[in-house]
A and B are shown apart, each in its own frame.
Chain A
Amino acid sequence: DTEVTQTPKHLVMGMTNKKSLKCEQHMGHRAMYWYKQKAKKPPELMFVYSYEKLSINESVPSRFSPECPNSSLLNLHLHALQPEDSALYLCASSPRAGEETQYFGPGTRLLVL
């Protein structure tokens, strides 16, 4: 089973709202990733967690706050977003951070008004 789940599938939020995106995997993977994808562009890496510790932050604005409560769960907390943050947010996991294959979830389509 190579399933990564993400909730919600769609999210509309105002610029003053606080919301969270959730990602879950039960494959025993110890690396989890957040990507942002704008229309007609490839995914852009935001964060990498390895063994529940943040290992890579690609200079993402602080209005995005990741959290990894345990090895199966990854959250992305959103606060005071801008309309340009509207995008598809993809979560992925791999057995370990490194040369392993990443498996992606279906994504959350976020619209910031």
Chain B
Amino acid sequence: AQKVTQAQTEISVVEKEDVTLDCVYETRDTTYYLFWYKQPPSGELVFLIRRNSFDEQNEISGRYSWNFQKSTSSFNFTITASQVVDSAVYFCALSTTSGTYKYIFGTGTRLKVLA
């Protein structure tokens, strides 16, 4: 079975705080892909990052960083020095060979950054 769990439904932080969004996935496939998307109130899902199962290297892009750990089946996302513009719903997604590469989305984490 394929599954993505985002246990944090909603997080509120004050501007400039660091925040980590958790993503735990389940799959028996050895080849799979993990994604993070941002959905601001406007509705569009904005692609942030894709990671394949063979690449456990962590990634940093400006204030964003991602920690991929196969040992714990987690792909966590950290925003450093959060800003009000980071307020959005963040989705983690999984696609696998046996799932015909259809996206399996987590339930999303709503992040509110307060000024």
Q: Is A105 an interface residue (CB 8 A)?
A: yes
In the assembled complex, which residues on chain B have CB atoms less than 8 Å from the CB atom of A88? 43
Please judge, given known A-B contacts A42-B107, A99-B33, whether A106 and B44 are in contact too, CB under 8 Å.
yes
A77 at the interface (CB under 8 A from B): no
B47 and A101 contacting across the interface, CB-CB below 8 Å: yes
In the bound complex, how far is the Cα of B35 from the Cα of A104, in angstroms?
A: 13
Most buried by B among A42, A92, A102, A104: A42
Chain A binder among B11-19, B20-28, B59-67, B97-105 = B97-105
A32 within 8 A of partner (CB): no
Interface range on chain B: under 10, 10 to 19, 20 to 34, or 35 or more? 20 to 34
Q: Restricting to B33-78, which residues have a CB under 8 Å from any CB of A?
A: 33, 35, 37, 42-47, 50, 52
Q: Is the interface of A mostly helix, strand, loop or mixed?
A: loop
- Residue on A with the closest CB to B37? A104
Note all chain A residues with C-beta closer than 8 A to B45: 43, 90, 92, 104
Chain A contacts of B106 at CB under 8 A?
42
CA distance A38 to B66 in the complex (A): 28
Distance from A61 Cβ to chain B, minimum over Cβ atoms (Å): 19
Known: A42-B108, A56-B100, A97-B101. A2 touches B95 (CB 8 A): no
Q: Which residues of A contact B (CB under 8 A)?
A: 2, 40-43, 45, 48, 56, 88, 90, 92, 97-107, 109
Residues of B within 8 A of A (CB): 31, 33, 35, 37, 42-47, 50, 52, 91, 95, 97, 100-103, 105-108
Apart from A99-B95, A99-B101, A104-B44: 18 A-B pairs, beta carbons within 8 A? A2-B47, A41-B107, A41-B108, A42-B105, A42-B106, A43-B45, A45-B102, A90-B43, A90-B45, A97-B101, A98-B101, A100-B101, A101-B50, A102-B47, A103-B47, A104-B46, A104-B47, A106-B42
Can you identify 19 A-B contacts, CB atoms within 8 angstroms?
A: A40-B108, A41-B108, A42-B107, A43-B45, A45-B103, A48-B102, A56-B100, A90-B45, A92-B45, A98-B101, A99-B31, A99-B95, A101-B35, A101-B47, A101-B50, A102-B47, A104-B47, A106-B43, A107-B43
